[in-house]
Structure formats: structure tokens, C-alpha cells
Amino acid sequence: MALPILAGTSAAVALAAYLNAKHHIVHDISTGAGGLSPAQPQTDFLTDRVLKKRVLLYHVFEDQALRIRPNHPFLIFEGKTWTYRQFFDGIIRVGNWLIKDLGVKVGEVVAIDGGNSAEYLMLWFALDAVGAVTSFVNWNLTGAGLVHCVEICDSRYLITDSDVRDNVEPSRSQFEDMGVKIQYYGPSFFASLKDDAPIPESRRDSISVESVRSIIYSSGTTGLPKGVIMSTGRELLVGFTAARYLGLKPEDRIYTCMPMYHGAAHGLCTTPAIHAGCTIVLGRKFSHKTFWPEVAKSRATIIQYVGELCRYLINGPPNEYERKHCVQMAWGNGMRPDVWEPFRERFNIPIINELYAATDGLGATFNRNAGSFTAHTIGLRGALWNWRYGDQEVRVKMDVDTEDIMRDDNGFAIRCGVNEPGQVLHRLTPEMLAGVPGYYNNEKATAKRRISDVFEKGDLWFKSGDMMRQDSDGRVFFVDRLGDTFRWKSENVSTNEVADMMGKYTQIAETNVYGVAVPGYDGRVGAASIVMADSVTLSTFDFQALATHARTMLPGYSVPLFLRVTPALEYTGTLKIQKGRLKREGVDPDLVTGDDKIYWLPPTSDRYLPFEREDWEAIKNKSVRLT
């Protein structure tokens, strides 16, 4: 990078300003509830690391393991504990294997594939230690998706947990044709590694804050996964900032069972814990059975949630340990309003700390909530915030059908007013471009996230893909992913808001709302896929009371006209609800798959009724009109 020549204090100040602009620091971390939190500590930290040439996560770990707290527990996994020093020694042995047996080079991209385990973390940090770039492949991928992820990152190796052999072996011949070697690992293999020679600093000293540090894949709910580039500076700053924001102390124990290949467990739990020198409690994967026992027995003080995890827990049966724990805070992203208070009360967790951020996004909002004023919001923007940053982050009106930004007579975007939902955009300046996430080997996808001529000719903005609104008190609410909101009877329907209301009906455990195309109608018609609550069956489900509930709680245009009763909803590996297949299948009897049952709410009916082929025909030949 074109760094200013460094000498003395003023040069350090210049460097700080340069890093600040490049890494979007002011913007990223200034969004604390109520106004500003100073960006100075982040700038100072990054400047200091650059001057000392210690910009890797490895360096932060090394500081903890060799100097600050070698004997403090770093990891608790399935009843076993490693101190920082013990874990560090493991990293070194794995690092020597990578260098001496596999010939991994500095800057080489190495794809890894595996579920949560101590070995997985060791492998990740060892790759960091030897100056390689880690490509975090989703361990649930098989076939074309798996091959695609390894192919786009040009890795020579796929280093894989033997546990996921069955996902990998069917693609072996394709990997061999591509020249990719599959290399298995597991606890006993890592335990057999003995070479503990220090990894020389020369493996790391060419790495700058702008070097690619890792590749993390989007979930690929719409097409093949895209690899998001994580720069070395961003990796360092996200961990540092989250640790500070959470006020993590060495005594804290932070529990996650979210998959490590994903940004949330990676950047919001693991790296912050290392910066703070506290303890990670790792769950192999989410399960009702193990969640509270693992949390309670490890004396975790913070738990991480993502997506629908909290809803799963409140729908789950009582667990002996669900209130016998030390948890002070739940920290995560995607908690829906109807889950918020029941979760806090049932599990006795004083603080819910909801964050909004995406691996491939810019900017983050936080809401540390212990009362009702800001419950359900994802952030709070005071007057001070608006004065300082109002021109850096905006919400603009969207055409929900085309997913294009709406333009006024002069061809410029239209800002949303109070409570109007719109897509969030972040301003990009030329010097920031290096710090902005892009997609690995995918210029087209990177370009698609950017838009120019928004408010004036030549300006450049980053599209978040998220619809939000802000109320007159400055509270920011997540509305929908762009593409989920749909239009019906000229109104915009937020699938999340409808799902929240449907979810309040006691005979429903989980809801997924989406719009379906119906021949002869503009826009989309609302449909709700529902899972019935425990011990409720089709014969005891009250379809009349549900119709009354929906018509009472929702404006007429957003009452779902179709129900799809299903045994289980479909989730991504990070517990986000999937809408794609349901939207594609709609309610066409020839397309609906599985044993799901479709119901509908005919215009004159007081209840949802089974939806038969003749009803579909009647809609198609227009003898019945949906209203």
C-alpha cells in the first residue's frame, strides 16, 4: 500500500487519518445507542499495530499466549479446556505441518471444511500464523456448491474434518481433475503432530492491513455462494471493536454454537474473545438438548444467537438448566420482536444486545437493550448522529417489484421520511474503496453492490440489500431483506411484520411469510408457511380463530390469503429462514412439493379452508377473485 513515509508523531497522525479513511472507521463504530462513541481507540489501535508490524489475529493471540495470560482458559469444548498457551502450542504444531508437509506458501489461499471443533479453530489460526489466506467453506455443502467454493478461491487443498467425509468424497474425482488435494484432519491426527519449532516472523512480515486475510461465503440462498473478502485490517478491527463495544473482560465466557465458517461466530465471538483475552465456549452445533446444559456447566456469561435460534429455544420443551446459568447477556442478530420479551423472561437474561451487520456489508448498528423503549429495534440514531453521519448512511425508496431504487424527475434517489421503509445505502469515497468488502474473484457481484448518481452525478454508494425504517424517536427497525417485501393491492407488505403478527397466534410455533405469484394478479399474494405448536394437529387447529386473529392484527392487504402447513421450516446453516423454494412453488398444485397442506381464505369465508385443485382452476378462470 502507498503508505506515507513514517517519522515522528505527525507521521503517525497522518497514518492514522489514512487508516481511518481506508477502513471506514468513524462510520462503522459511531453508531452506539444515543449518539457517538469516539473512534479514537480504534484508530489508535490500528495505527499502533501497523507501526509494530503486528497486524494479524495471530499476533493478538501470541500476545495473550506468551505474555499477557498464558494460563487463562481460551477454549472450552465438550468438557475439555485449553489455556491460551496450550492452544498456542497446538497452533504452532499444525503450522509446521502446513509449512513442512503441505508446502503452504505465504499468501496462498487454503480452503478448509469442517464443523465446530477445537481442531477447526487450531487449523484456522495456524493458517493465519503461516501467512496463508483461509477460505471458510460451509461444511454442509456438497456437489456443485462445494466444488464451486473451492474452485473460485483457487485453493490447492481442501483440508477437511474427517467427520464430513461423506459430503466431500462424492466430489473427489472433480477435485482431482481440478488438481485439488483432499487432506483429512481430526483430533488424533493433530495430537500426533510434534514439530514445535517457532513459526518465523518472515512468514507474516509481508502482510499489510490491506492483504486479503480470509474468504467467507455468503449463504447462497439465491444461487451459488459468493466469497466475501475479509481484509487483514477489517479482521483486526471487527474483533477489536466488538470486544470494546461488549466490554468483554478476561473473566467473560462467551458461548457460541453457530458455525465457525460464518461471519457471526467468526467475527462477533471468536476474534473479540481473543482481543479481550476471555474464554470461548464452543458448541459443536445447535441443539435443544445440549444448549442450556453446555451454557450452564461452562458458566458462560454471554451467549450468541443468530436468526431463529431464540425462537427455537422458546418453542422448545423446558430444560433443567434454562434458568440455572450465569448468562448476563444474549448477543446476536435477527431476534424478532415477538420473541424478544418471552425470551428474556423465560430464560432470565437481563440484557439483549441486538446487532445488525453483514459480512458483506458496511456499517453496523447496535442496540444494547435492558428495557422496553428500544426493545425490538436494531439501533438508535440521535440528533448528534444525524448531524455527523446523516449524509453517510441513508434510506431510499425502492420499487419493491423491480428491486430498483426509485428516482425523481431529475433522476435522483428519494430519501425516506419518518417510518417509511427503504433500502439502506452507505456512501463510498474513493479512498475507502480498499476497505469495502468485495467478492473474491467476482468483479460482477462486487460491482452489483455499488450504485452511482444517487443524489448527484458521480457519487458512489454501497447497497446493503436491507430495508429499514426509522421512527420519529430515531429508533431504527429492520423491515425485510430487499426482495422479500412484496406489493399487493398497491400496498407494500413486509414479510417480517406479517410473520411477527401470525407468530403471536398461540397454535403456531413458527411462521415464514412470502409473496406468491398468482395468474391474473399484479404483485404477489401473501402466503404464510406455518408449523403448528406442539400437540396441535390439523383437526384441533382452529382455522376460524386464526382468520379472525389475522384480520384483527393486520391491515386487510397484508392478511395472508394462503397458508402452507408444514412439519418444519427450512433454514440455512445459520438459522436464517429460506423463502426461495416456497416463493417459486407458490400455491400451484402442480408445483407444490412434499406433504405440505395448502389452505386459503376465500373472500367471503370466515376461516381458512383446504385449497383444492378446483379452487386453483376457479382462480385461474376468474370465476373467483382474490381480494
Ligand X SMILES: *[C@@H]1O[C@H](CO)[C@@H](O)[C@H](O)[C@H]1NC(C)=O
419 by DSSP, 3-state: which?
Answer: coil
How does DSSP classify residue 85?
H
Report if residue 44 touches ligand X, rule: CB under 6 A. no
Q: Considering only CA atoms, which of 368, 307, 331, 359 is closest in space to residue 464?
A: 359
Q: Considering only CA atoms, which of 482, 555, 484, 469 is closest in space to residue 514?
A: 484
Report if residue 225 touches ligand X, rule: CB under 6 A. no
Shortest Cβ 397–ligand X spacing (Å): 4
Q: Which C-beta is closer to ligand X: that of 102 or that of 618?
A: 618
- What is the DSSP annotation of 557-584? GGS-SEEEE-SS--B-TTSPBP-HHHHH
List CB contacts of 246: < 8 A, sequence separation 6 or more. Answer: 272, 302, 329, 331, 353
Report if residue 617 touches ligand X, rule: CB under 6 A. yes
Given 14, 314, 554, 618, the residue binding ligand X (CB under 6 A): 618
Cell of 19: 487508516
Site string for ligand X, 536-575 (x = CB under 6 A): -----------------------------------x-x--
Binding to ligand X, residues 104-163 (CB under 6 A): 140
Distances (CA, A) of 113 to 117, 139, 163, 207, 337: 11, 5, 10, 24, 34
Shortest Cβ 436–ligand X spacing (Å): 25
The C-alpha atoms of residue 266 and residue 214 are separated, in whole angstroms, by 11
Report if residue 614 touches ligand X, rule: CB under 6 A. yes
Cell of 439: 467478492
Site string for ligand X, 51-80 (x = CB under 6 A): ------------------------------
Report if residue 609 touches ligand X, rule: CB under 6 A. no
Interface stretch with ligand X, choices 250-258, 294-302, 595-603, 611-619 (CB under 6 A):
611-619
Binding to ligand X, residues 483-502 (CB under 6 A): 490-492
Report if residue 283 touches ligand X, rule: CB under 6 A. no
Shortest Cβ 614–ligand X spacing (Å): 4
Binding to ligand X, residues 569-588 (CB under 6 A): 571, 573
The C-alpha atoms of residue 54 and residue 466 are separated, in whole angstroms, by 35
List CB contacts of 581: < 8 A, sequence separation 6 or more. Answer: 570, 593
Start-to-end CA span in the chain (Å): 60
Interface stretch with ligand X, choices 6-14, 16-24, 49-57, 617-625 (CB under 6 A):
617-625
The C-alpha atoms of residue 514 and residue 573 are separated, in whole angstroms, by 20
Interface stretch with ligand X, choices 117-125, 128-136, 268-276, 614-622 (CB under 6 A):
614-622
Shortest Cβ 415–ligand X spacing (Å): 11
Binding to ligand X, residues 356-415 (CB under 6 A): 397-398, 406
Q: Considering only CA atoms, which of 61, 63, 64, 58 is closest in space to residue 128?
A: 58
Is 273:60 a contact under the CB 8 Å cutoff?
no
Shortest Cβ 127–ligand X spacing (Å): 23
Site string for ligand X, 228-267 (x = CB under 6 A): ----------------------------------------
Binding site for ligand X (CB under 6 A): 140, 397-398, 406, 422, 490-492, 571, 573, 614, 617-618, 621, 623
